Structure 1
Amino acid sequence: MSSPVFVTGCDRSGTSLLTLMLDRSSSLKMLFEVGFVPHLASHESEYGDFSEAQQRWYFIRDLQRRESTSGAVAFDKIEGVFEEEAERILQEAAPIDYAGAVDALFSAVAEREEKPRWGEKMPEYVFHVEWLASAFPGSQIVHIIRDPRDVAASIRRAGWKPSIGDAAAFWKKRVSAARSGGHVIGGDRYHEVRYESLVQNPAETLQRLARRIDIQFESEMTSTHQSGMDAMPEAHQGLEHFSLLERPVDPSRAHAWKRELSRSEIADVERVAAPLMRNLGYDVTGKTVPLWVQGARWAKEAGGALVRRTRRRIRSVVP
C-alpha cells in the first residue's frame, strides 16, 4: 500500500488552496473531496476480500450512490476511472481489504499522471483523523488552520451559518476534533499548517511541509493560479467560493477580518473561540459588544418572544 496524504481542516480555511499547491508536486496526486473513505468502511463485510465479482460490484455500487460534495457522487470524483476500469483495477489487486481497495483505485489515478503517491482533500475528515491513520498505516495527515475571525467572515459571506457566533462554534468544533486526533497519532504523522503562513510565505511553508510528508518540493507549487480551476473536479468549477483560486496567492487574505468585521462581530467570535485561539497562538483583541448593540439584541429577542407568546395565545382560543 502507498503512503497517502490527507488534507483536512475547517471549511474556508484554505484546504483547497493547499491541495492545489500539493497537487503541483511531481510526486503527489491530490483528489478533491471524494469523501467516502471513512464512511463505506462500515460495509467491509459485504466487500470481503474483493476477489469475487459480486463483492466488487457492491463496492462500485456504493461509490455510485454515496453523495460527495458539490452535487456529485463519490465515483464521479475518482478522476477518469469508469465502472469497467474500476472492476478491472479491483480484480487485479485482489485479494485486498477495504483500505487496499481504496488505495488501488486512487493509485490508478496517480499513475496516470506518473505520480508515485496519492492524497485526498476533505474538510469533513477532521472527525476521522485517528481512523485514517489506523486504516492507512503509512499515511500523513495535514491539518490547515486559519484564524477563526477570517473563517467566520468567509462563512458569513457564503451564507452557511445564521450568525458569526455560530460560524465560530463551527470552527472550534472542527479544529478541536482534528487536533485531538492528531495528538493521539503523534507529530510524525500529523502536521499543522497555518493559512497565514501559507499565503504570506508560501515557498518556505511548502518546503517545510514537503520535507515532513516526504514529497518533492517544486517552485511551481506556489503558483496555483496558473492551473486554476482546471486542476479541480468539474463539479467544483465555476463555484463562487473557489473563485480566489484563479488568482495569484494573496497575502492580504491573512487577517482580512480586521477590515471586514465590526467590533461586535470580533467580540462574538472571540467569546466562543478565545481559549483555543490563545492555545494556537492567535492574538485575542478582548473586544466587547457595545452596550447599544447588546440592548438592540435584547429588544429583538424580547420582541420575538412576545410575538411567539401572542401567537400561542391566539391559537389556544381560536378554534
Structure 2
Amino acid sequence: MATTKSVASIRRWFSQAVFNTRARPGQSPQAPMPMIVGSPRSGTTLLRLMLDAHPEMAIPPETGFLTMQLPSADVENPKKWFADAVTHFPPDAPGWQDFGIAREVFEQALGQLEPFEYAEGFRLFYRMYAAKFQKPRWGDKTPLYCLSMLYVQQLLPEAHFIHIIRDGRGSAASLRKQWFSPGDSMAVQAQYWRTNVTAAREAAMQCQHYLEVRYENLISNTEAELRRICDFIQLEFDPVMLRYHEHSASRLLEHKERVTHDGVVIVGETQRRAQQIRTTQAPIPQLLTSWRDALSAAEIAEFNAVAGDFLQALGYSVSPEANQAPEGHPEPTSW
C-alpha cells in the first residue's frame, strides 16, 4: 500500500506528465514505440537497458499483459476489470510489483480516461511508468511478444518491433540454466528458438514497422547498431546509451520475487537480478564464443540436427571450426 505522501507525490507528477494528453513535438502518445522482441536469452534485456539509458526513453521490465484476453464490449465496469486484470497479471504469479506504480494511483488515472478504450488503458500504464523518471517516451521489452506481433500492432499501431536475433546455440546455452527454460534437452531448445524466431520473421511481413538486430553486431559494433535503432524509432542517438552498464544494477532492482497467490515463491529477486548480471558490464565481444565451451560437441550436434538449416539460413555457420558470428554482415532487415 502506498503511503499518503507517495501517492500525493505521484499525483503531482501525473497531473502534468500523464493527464495532459495534448500532443507535443516528440512527446505524442503516437510517437514510435520501440517493442523489443526475440527468443529468450537473445539480448532483449541488454537492448532494453541501452535504450532506457536514453534521457528521453523509459522501458519497463517485461509486461506480458498486452496479449491477455480482453472481455466483450458489454462488461459491466471495463475500467475496474482492466485495473484488476493488469495489476494481477499473470494470474498465477502477478508481476505488477516490478513497475513501482501504486495500484490505487493507476485506478485513479484510469478513472480520468474518457472515453475509455483498452488501448488507451495500456498507453496510460506506459505514460505513468515513464513519468516516474520524468521521461517523455516509452517502449516495451517482452521477448515472447514475438509470437503475437500482429495482434500487438493492431492494439498499438505505434509499435515499432525490434527483433533481436542471436545464434540459437548461444541462446540455448544461456536459457537452459534459467528458471523459465523450456527444458534441458538441446533438441527442445533448438525447436523453441527456431519457433520463436520464425514466428517473428513471418509476422514481420505484415508489420508496418520492423527492424532486425543481430545480437553479435550489437555486442561487437554497439554504437553503429544503436544509431541504426535510434533512426528506426525516430530518437536522436545519445552517447550516454553506451554507458548503460553504469546504471544497470540500479535498474535491475525493479525485478522483485514472483510469488503465487498461495505464497509459493517461484523465483526470488536475487536470482532474477543475477540472471542479468552481464548487463552490468560493457559489451565483451570475446564472450560471443562462450557457448562453445558451455555446450559439449554432442549437444551442439543435437542442436544443429534440429535447427542447423535455419542457422545457416540466418548466416550462422554450423562447421566445427567456425565461430558464432554470422558469416559477413547480413543486410539489415527493416521497414
TM-score (norm 1): 0.80
1:211 aligns with 2:240: no
Answer yes or no: is the 8 Å Cα contact 1:28–1:119 preserved in 2: yes
The answer to whether the Cα contact below 8 Å between 2:230 and 2:237 also exists between their aligned partners in 1 is: yes
What's the CA shift for 1:286? 6.8
Question: What SS does structure 1 have at the residue aligned with 2:211?
Answer: strand
Corresponding residue for residue 7 of structure 1: 36
Q: The residue matched to 1:108 in structure 2 has which SS?
A: helix
More helix by share: 1
Alignment check: 8 A CA contact 1:90 1:105 kept: no
Read off the aligned partner of 2:88 and give its amino acid letter: R
Whether contact under 8 Å (2:190, 2:303) holds in the other structure is yes
Cα displacement (A) at 1:89: 1.4
User: 1:254 aligns to what?
Assistant: 288
**Deviating more after overlay: 154-163 vs 84-93:** 154-163
1:255-294 paired onto structure 2 within 5 Å = 255-285=289-319
Q: Take 2:116 and 2:138, find their aligned partners in 1: how far apart are those partners? A: 18
**Which whole-Å CA distance do the structure 2 matches of 1:37 and 1:46 have between them?**
20
What corresponds to 2:49 in structure 1? 20
Q: Structure 1 CA distance, aligned partners of 2:195 and 2:186?
A: 14
Other-structure match for 1:59: 82
Contact 1:195 1:254 in 2 (8 A): no
What does residue range 51-90 of structure 1 map to in structure 2 within 5 Å? 54-67=77-90, 73-77=94-98, 79-90=99-110
What is the aligned counterpart of 1:103 among 123, 136, 142? 123
Distance 1:154 1:93, change over 3 A: same
Q: Paired residue for 2:188?
A: 166
Matches of 1:146 and 1:111 in 2, distance apart? 32
Indicate which of 123, 127, 134 corresponds to 2:154: 134
CA contact (8 A) 1:65 1:74 kept: yes
- In the alignment, which of 244, 247, 256 is matched to residue 235 of structure 1? 256
How many residue pairs were aligned? 276
CA gap of 1:179–1:88, structure 2 versus 1, over 3 A, is same
CA contact (8 A) 1:7 1:142 kept: yes
Q: Structure 1: where are the runs of 5+ without partners?
A: 49-53, 288-319
The runs of at least 4 consecutive aligned structure 1 residues that moved more than 6 Å come to none
Instruction: Using the aligned pairs only, state the percent identity.
Output: 28
Separation in 1 of the partners of 2:107 and 2:174?
41
**CA-atom RMSD in angstroms:** 2.2
Does the 8 Å contact 2:36/2:48 carry over to 1?
yes
In structure 1, the partner of 2:111 is 91
TM, length-normalised to structure 2: 0.76
